Every structure is written in C-alpha cells, then in structure tokens.
Amino acid sequence: MKSDREPATTIVARASAPGLGGVGVIRISGSDTKAIATALLGKIPENRFATKSSFFDDSGNALDHGLALFFLGPASYTGEDTLELHCHGSPVVLDQVLKRVLELGAELARPGEFTERAFLNGKLDLAQAESVADLINSQTQAAAKFALRSLSGIFSKEIDELSRRIETVRVLVEATIDFSDEPVDDLSVDTLRLHITEISEKIRKILDRSRPGLLLSQGATIVIAGPPNAGKSSLLNAFAGSEKAIVSPHAGTTRDLIEAHIDLGGIPVHMVDTAGLRASDDDIEAEGVRRARETIDAADLVLCVLDDSDPASSRFELHLETGRTAKQITVFNKSDLSGRLIGDISDGINAAVAVSAKNGTGIKQLTEAIRTALGFQGDDEDLILARRRHLNVLEQALGLMDSASALDEPELVAEELRLAHRLLGEITGVFSTEDLLGEIFSSFCIGK
Ligand SMILES: Nc1nc2c(ncn2[C@@H]2O[C@H](COP(=O)(O)OP(=O)(O)O)[C@@H](O)[C@H]2O)c(=O)[nH]1
Ligand SMILES: [Mg+2]
C-alpha cells in the first residue's frame, strides 16, 4: 500500500479537525507546491513568513482570504516544500480550497502521509514519528508530556546508545573470530559475559520504564469485582465523580458491565464495574456474572471489593470464586461501618486498602496503591511512553542476550548480537519493512 505513489507526488489534506472552527488549516507538501502557490495565491509567499493572501479559483475569484505560510524544503516538517493555508474554519470554504488544490494537481494525502514523508526524508526517526500520533491521541496531561519527550528524541537516543553498545561488543567478538589463530587478550570469555550482562541490565532498565509508559499511551483497564452488595458500584461512582452506576441495597442490582473513563493521577483508566460474583438462578444475573469473569481476563488490575462490615463478604477470594488469577488489590469497603482505619493496609505480599466508597474516604490512598500496582513510582520523571511494538522488540532483544550469555562459541554469540542490533534498529526505523511502516502510519489521522 505504501509504494503505490510516486514520492514526487504533491499531497494535500485538511490539517485541522473536521467541523466548524475559527480557523481551518490546509496543508500541501511536495515538489509542485511552488507552482500550486503561484496559481492559488498569485505568488510564492516569502519563506517562513505569515503572508496575508487571497485564495483564488481558476477564474481569479477569491474563494477565501487568510494566511499563507510557505516552508522551503528541506527545512520543513516533511523535508519537502510545504504550504499551509489558514482559511476561515468553515467546512464549505475548506472544501472549496481543497478542491482547487486538487485541480492544480495535488493528490489527497493518506492518513499519516505527511509524517511518513518526514520519516522517509530523515526529519524524524520511527519512534519519534509514532510519538507524533501518541501526542495527538494523548488522553491525559502526563501522556502528552511523555509523548512530547519521545518526540524530542529522548527515547530514540537511549535506543541508539544501546544499539551502539551492542555493535561495539559485536565488533570485539567478530575480531576474535577473524584472528582466531592468534590469542586475543582483550576479550576473554569472562569479559564478554560481563559486557553481555551489562547490556541485558540496560535493556531491563529501559523495559522497566517502558511498561508503565505503555499504560500511559494505551490506557489501563481496571475491573471492579467482588461479592454482591460490597459497594462495587459505589466505588466506581466515587472514582468517576458521578452516579454512573445504580447503587442499591439489593444484591444483584448491577448486571451489565458499567464503564467509566477516568484520569487516575495521569493514567488514562478504563474502569469497569461488574455484577457481584455469586451463583444465581436468574438468567440475566448469571449472564452478568459470566461477563464479569470474562472482563477479569482483560484487566491490567482487579479491585476486589469486600464489605468489611460483613464477615461472609470478607472471606471472599477472587481466584476461588472465578478460577482466575489476576493482579489485584483487595479493597476493604464500608470501613465507616467496620471501624477499620482508612488507608493502605498492604502487608508486603498482598496489596490492600481500607476505604469508604460511600463517604469517599480512602480513595486517594487507593489511587496511590493502584499507581504502584501498575508499576508507577514516585515522580516517574524518566518514564518512556512506549508502544507494544517497542516492548516486544526490547523483550526479544533481552531473550537474545540471555541466550548469548549461555553460549561459548564466538560465532554464535556474534550472531545473537547481530540479531539484537537489528531488532533495536526496528524501533527507530533504521531497519523497517513496508508492512511495518504501513501499519504505523495508517493509524494516524489525515493531515498529519
Ligand atoms: N456504610 C456504607 N455503605 C456503603 C458503602 N459503599 C456502599 N454502601 C452501600 O452498600 C449497598 C450496596 O452498594 P453497591 O455499590 O450497590 O454495591 P455492589 O452491589 O457491590 O455494586 C448500598 O446500599 C450502598 O449505599 C460504604 O462505604 N459505607
Ligand atoms: Mg453494583
């Protein structure tokens, strides 16, 4: 799908969101940009200066008046000549101007095609290009902040450093192969193992900072489960800050899955309230229980809510009741009734927090416990906003280092190092396939 267009084609798209707006932006990029500017504006605007201009149709009538911004390539976002037209933000006006640019020979851009060109022209590496989409899609301030950091190249730089490190060791190993007749003093097996252990350590550290970052970009799914009447729906409402779910003293009230999207201290969370887990003769409730069990499988974390004032409820155990093991925090609810002190009561093995969903007390401590359980610590200043693809590469590279450290033959070690080096290159796009690029850029919005 990528190579069906000549790179010389000039592309155009609306860069601002659809609908009405004060200003609407149309963006043009490619080798015909100057010619299009001449026909549309009657001139090529001065490089990098906001120029007031009319946008003319083929008979010389103005379609709109606005600002034109010309960027002479390669000093532009895409690396090509580009033109931005700031029109009045009316869909009708924008449509007319867009049609005119198409008449002048441009083609409609595919999703992400401007950024794809920026990548192909070496303006951004692949991880940075992905962070453009992550920034646009970010749902919380924290996600936006870390996407911007990746865009500025912080993550790519670490991957490049790691790559260079692997490359250096690989060169050392290959030297021992080439000169195997002579003793090579500076690379004993022990030294080589040490190098590999250090590389593994580095990869592990990047992974530790990336895993929570994945939740920042993709959001975490948290399922509220437990016995009937424990206060699960009340807890969802306390987090959502509104009466999302019906709360009632009747057991079996919640049947459908009830979902809320919340910003949990910067983590975009998809929180799901479920039917109380019990055997039921009621078909609808039984279906609700079945769905509750199913969502637990998809959860990043389960909040197992118990009624602390009810001894039967306190004996409930999630894995016994569902046959499933999930990362969980036990929430002792109704502490206002049981008299338990509100707050974190984790014992080092099991995470547990005492709250009162009804009064909204303990929610802050529970939020903290959730952040910890999801791998966030303290200020998290050095998190990496990773994608699943990056984690997969890093995990595979770690696997290769593990097997390399178990090998004695330098030829075999060199091969593992070569593979790991190549894999890391996939993160920044030093090595990439058409399929991978197609997959990444097609998920962008049009005009970016
Ligand atoms: N005293 C007290 N009552 C609560 C608390 N949380 C929930 N309840 C009550 O317990 C009952 C069941 O609550 P609900 O949220 O519907 O429980 P669910 O069945 O687990 O969803 C309702 O009458 C709530 O008002 C709490 O923290 N303290
Ligand atoms: Mg409920």
Instruction: Show which of 107, 125, 143 is a domain's final residue.
Output: 125
Is 138 touching ligand 1 by the criterion CB < 6 Å?
Answer: no
**Protein residue with least CA distance to atom 10, ligand 1:** 231
Same domain, 140 and 221: yes
Residue-averaged pLDDT of the chain:
91
Q: Residue 88: inside a domain, yes or no?
A: yes
For residue 250, report the distance from its CA to the centre of ligand 1, in Å.
Answer: 10
Average pLDDT over residues 137-163: 92
How far does CA 138 lie from the centroid of its chain?
8
Local structure of residue 151 (DSSP, 8 states): H
Same domain, 133 and 49: no
pTM above 0.85, yes or no: no
**Protein residue with least CA distance to atom 14, ligand 1:** 231
Instruction: Show which of 98, 125, 152 is a domain's final residue.
Output: 125
For residue 238, report the distance from its CA to the centre of ligand 2, in Å.
Answer: 13
Same domain, 286 and 323: yes
Is 247 touching ligand 1 by the criterion CB < 6 Å?
Answer: yes
Same domain, 394 and 418: yes
pLDDT over threshold 70, residue 4: no
Q: What pLDDT digit, counting tens, does each position of 196-231 carry?
A: 999 999 999 999 999 889 998 889 999 999 999 999
Same domain, 300 and 225: yes
Q: What is the dihedral of CA 372, 375, 381, 382, to 10 degrees?
A: 160
Angle, CA 12 vertex, CA 9 and CA 13 arms, to 5°? 145
Q: What pLDDT digit, counting tens, does each position of 51-97 carry?
A: 999 999 999 999 999 999 999 999 999 999 999 999 999 999 999 99
Instruction: Round to whole Å and give the CA distance between 387 and 398.
Output: 17
Which residues, in sequence order, are bridge partners of residue 115? none
Which of 188-192, 280-284, 300-304, 314-318 shows the lowest mean pLDDT across its residues? 188-192
Instruction: Round to whole Å and give the CA distance between 343 and 243.
Output: 24
Q: Residue 360: inside a domain, yes or no?
A: no
Instruction: Round to whole Å and give the CA distance between 199 and 404.
Output: 11
127, 156 Cβ separation under 8 angstroms = yes
Q: Residue 234: inside a domain, yes or no?
A: yes
Confidence of residue 257 (pLDDT cuts 50, 70, 90): very high
Average pLDDT over residues 361-367: 96
Of residues 187 and 345, more confidence is placed in 345
Q: Residue 334: inside a domain, yes or no?
A: no
Same domain, 96 and 149: no
22, 16 Cβ separation under 8 angstroms = no
Q: Residue 184: inside a domain, yes or no?
A: yes
Same domain, 280 and 394: yes
252, 423 Cβ separation under 8 angstroms = no
Local structure of residue 300 (DSSP, 8 states): S
pLDDT over threshold 50, residue 296: yes
Angle, CA 359 vertex, CA 357 and CA 362 arms, to 5°? 60
Same domain, 239 and 285: yes
**CATH code (residue 190):** 1.20.120.430
Q: What pLDDT score does 6 carry?
A: 66
Average pLDDT over residues 242-256: 89
Q: Which of 223, 224, 229, 234 to mutate to test the pocket of ligand 1 (most atoms within 8 A of CB)?
A: 234
**CATH code (residue 61):** 3.30.1360.120
Q: Which residue has the tokens 């979902």?
A: 259
Angle, CA 410 vertex, CA 405 and CA 412 arms, to 5°? 70
Q: What pLDDT digit, counting tens, does each position of 97-135 carry?
A: 999 999 999 999 999 999 999 999 999 999 999 999 999
Query: What residue numbers bound the domain in which 42 lies?
Result: 11-125
| For the CA of 334, the nearest ligand | 1
Instruction: Show which of 75, 95, 125 is a domain's final residue.
Output: 125
273, 262 Cβ separation under 8 angstroms = no
Confidence of residue 2 (pLDDT cuts 50, 70, 90): very low
Q: What is the DSSP string of 227-241?
A: STTSSHHHHHHHHHT
Computed on alpha carbons and rounded to an integer, the radius of gyration of the chain in Å comes to: 28
Same domain, 181 and 248: yes
pLDDT over threshold 80, residue 356: yes
Same domain, 63 and 155: no
Q: Residue 261: inside a domain, yes or no?
A: yes
- In the chain, the number of structural domains is 2
Q: Residue 357: inside a domain, yes or no?
A: no
Q: Report the first-to-last Cα separation within the chain, whole angstroms.
A: 18
Q: What pLDDT score does 221 carry?
A: 96
Same domain, 74 and 186: no
Average pLDDT over residues 141-151: 91
Same domain, 88 and 107: yes
Q: What pLDDT score does 186 carry?
A: 57
**Protein residue with least CA distance to atom 23, ligand 1:** 249
Q: What pLDDT score does 1 carry?
A: 40
Q: Residue 435: inside a domain, yes or no?
A: no
Which of 164-178, 215-229, 297-311 shows the lowest mean pLDDT across its residues? 164-178
- Of the candidates 345, 346, 430, 347, the one whose C-alpha atom is nearest the C-alpha of residue 393 is 430
